[in-house]
A = this chain, B = another copy of it.
Amino acid sequence: MRATFMYKAGDVRVEHAPDPVVQQPTDAVVRIVRSCVCGSDLHPYHSLSEDDGPAPMGHEFLGVVEELGSEVTGLKRGDVVVAPFAFADNTCALCREGLHTSCPNGGFFASGGVGGAQAEAVRVPQASGTLVKLPVGEDSALLPSLLTLADVYGTGYHAARQARVDERTTVTVIGDGAVGLLAVLSAKQLGAEQIILMGRHKDRTDLGRYFGASDIVAERGEEGVEKVRQLTGGQGTHTVLEAVGHMPAYETAVGVVRPGGVISRVGVPQYEDAPVGFGSLFGPNITLTGGPAPVRAYIDELLPGVLSGAVEPGRVFDRSVTLDETPEGYRAMDRREALKVLVTP
Contact = CB atoms under 8 A, between A and B. Distances in A.
Interface of A: 94, 97-99, 101-102, 162, 259-260, 265, 268-269, 271-292, 294
Contacts of A265: 282
A272 B268 contact: no
B273 A276 contact: yes
B273 A282 contact: no
B287 A278 contact: no
Interface majority SS (helix, strand, loop, mixed), chain A: mixed
Contacts of A280: 272
B277 A281 contact: no
- Closest 5 A/B residue pairs (Cβ): A285-B291, A102-B259, A272-B277, A287-B289, A99-B260
A278 B282 contact: no
Contact of A274 (B101, B259, B273): B273
Nearest to A269: B277
Contacts of A279: 272
Contact of A94 (B101, B162, B260, B277): B260
B291 A286 contact: yes
Contacts of A281: 288, 291
Contacts of A289: 285, 287-289
Given A101-B285, A273-B277, 7 more contacts: A162-B285, A265-B282, A269-B278, A281-B288, A284-B291, A285-B289, A287-B288
A286 B265 CA distance: 11
A101 B162 CA distance: 24
B292 A260 contact: no
A3 B99 CA distance: 53
Task: Kindly name the residue among A97, A102, A276 whose own CB sees the greatest number of chain B CB atoms within 10 A.
Answer: A276
B272 A102 contact: no
A51 to B, nearest CB: 19
22 contacts: A94-B260, A97-B260, A99-B259, A102-B284, A162-B285, A162-B287, A265-B282, A268-B278, A268-B282, A269-B276, A269-B278, A273-B273, A273-B274, A273-B277, A274-B274, A274-B276, A274-B277, A276-B288, A281-B288, A285-B292, A286-B291, A289-B289
